[in-house]
A = this chain, B = another copy of it.
Amino acid sequence: MTRLRFMTAGESHGPALTGILEGLPAGLHLEAADLDRDLARRQRGYGRGGRMKIEKDTAEILGGVRFGKTLGSPLALLVRNRDFENWRERMQAAPGGPDPKPVRVPRPGHADLTGGIKYGHTKDLRGVLERASARETAMRVALGAAARVLLRELGIGIGSYVRSIGPAEATPAHDAAPGLYREDAYELGLLADGFETRALDEASSRHLAEAIDEARRRRDTVGGVVEVVATGVPVGLGSHVHWDRRLDARLAGALSSIPAIKAVELGDGFAAAGLYGSEVHDPIHLSAGRLTRARNRAGGLEGGITNGEPLVVRAAMKPIATVPAALGSVDLHALEERSAHVERSDTCAVPAAGIVAEAMVALTLADALLEALGGDTMDALRLPFAKLRLSTRVE
């Protein structure tokens, strides 16, 4: 991301998360409530442990917005960690320490060991896990919410839902909500928000919840698959001309940057690898003066560029690495095999991962949009965007 770019900072039990998003056009209506809405969506979801109740995240806007409108200057956000008071002595920036309870048994699957070795934190892995924690994604959600507002003002809706939890599969959107799937992904996301697992219907949600219950019973954790859809996307975002301009690459990179994501699919993904070309590619039709498609196996992406159909991407999340029953590991101090450290955690974070994935898709799309159209102000963006929208019109 270069036209729009962001950085985040902050440890899980430090005083706060901070983030800066640079490149937003001026004149965009934006309020803290827009950000808090997505922060709240991230905190819901069946399978979360106690922390989600401790901390109701809210974003403070420290820069870039005045009187409810962006200024064109960097958006600066702060999300406080409400639990910090209990951690102050163990997480202070000021000289002190060592922590009376150092973490010395790395959790398999987490950054504990790899980050511990890389950054020299093997005496207390908290130096790693505080930043590697998925808590960091709260700031991405807040920043991504701003990008979502920008896109929505132009008619681009983004939403997600949960496709599966462990072995349990939910009804996919093209069956559960075909209209929203094609026309209004934002509403699709809201529909999912109505179910505690973020499935799209009651039966699916119960089914997914059972998989989470089963994991909890086993004192285990469980992953799953989320799908993100974007509707109203015009033709022409991304590019075939250079490897790192391809929207496929940028989306896959953005989604895979979310902790615990181990796979990404664009459109039909792996299924496309198992079929013949005539089955996979979406024929182009002429209908009512527009170039249209009767199907969307491409997931809205052809040649690294959006094709005007809904963007459809999926991300597979592995189970949370903090397994209550604890995995086999090694105490790096005693140099003996031990059960891994257990940091307070959830059973399943897949519903939340969908919200994070929405944020990353929004940021990536907004970057590609501004790259193509420029846009120092929202007003300057409107006309070229409208033209792009009409670009599949023929005659």
Identify A108's interface contact among B126, B266, B284, CB under 8 A.
B284
Q: Is the interface of A mostly helix, strand, loop or mixed?
A: mixed
Q: How far is the CB of A73 from chain B (nearest CB, A)?
A: 4
Identify A20's interface contact among B8, B114, B117, B235, CB under 8 A.
B8
Residues of B within 8 A of A281 (CB): 107-109, 318-319, 321, 323, 327
- Check A240 against B117 for contact (C-beta < 8 Å): no
Residues of B within 8 A of A269 (CB): 262-263, 316
Q: For the complex, give the distance between the alpha carbons of A250 and B264 in Å.
A: 13
- Check A257 against B246 for contact (C-beta < 8 Å): yes
Q: For the complex, give the distance between the alpha carbons of A9 and B221 in Å.
A: 39
Residues of B within 8 A of A128 (CB): 71, 240, 303
Q: How far is the CB of A120 from chain B (nearest CB, A)?
A: 4
Q: How far is the CB of A14 from chain B (nearest CB, A)?
A: 6
Which chain A residues (1-15) contact chain B, with CB distance < 8 Å? Answer: 1-3, 5, 7-11, 14-15
A369's nearest neighbour on chain B, judged by CB, is B374
Q: For the complex, give the distance between the alpha carbons of A68 and B371 in Å.
A: 25
- Check B15 against A303 for contact (C-beta < 8 Å): no
Q: For the complex, give the distance between the alpha carbons of A298 and B106 in Å.
A: 15
**Contact flag A120-B62 (CB < 8 Å), given A131-B73, A270-B316, A371-B3:** no
Identify A243's interface contact among B8, B118, B329, CB under 8 A.
B8
* A335 within 8 Å of B (CB atoms): yes
* A325 within 8 Å of B (CB atoms): yes
* A110 within 8 Å of B (CB atoms): yes
- Check B9 against A75 for contact (C-beta < 8 Å): yes
- Check B262 against A265 for contact (C-beta < 8 Å): yes
- Check A374 against B379 for contact (C-beta < 8 Å): no
Stretch at the interface among A43-51, A91-99, A149-157, A194-202: A91-99
* A16 within 8 Å of B (CB atoms): yes
Q: Which 6 A-B pairs have the closest CB atoms?
A: A111-B303, A253-B253, A109-B281, A68-B95, A277-B319, A9-B76
- Ordered by A's residue number, 12 sampled pairs between the chains whose C-beta atoms are within 8 Å are A7-B7, A8-B20, A9-B76, A72-B118, A74-B241, A112-B303, A128-B240, A218-B276, A221-B276, A223-B272, A253-B256, A276-B319
13 new A-B contacts at CB < 8 Å, known A73-B131, A111-B240, A263-B263: A8-B74, A8-B243, A108-B298, A113-B284, A114-B240, A117-B235, A131-B241, A248-B261, A249-B256, A273-B317, A286-B330, A370-B374, A373-B374
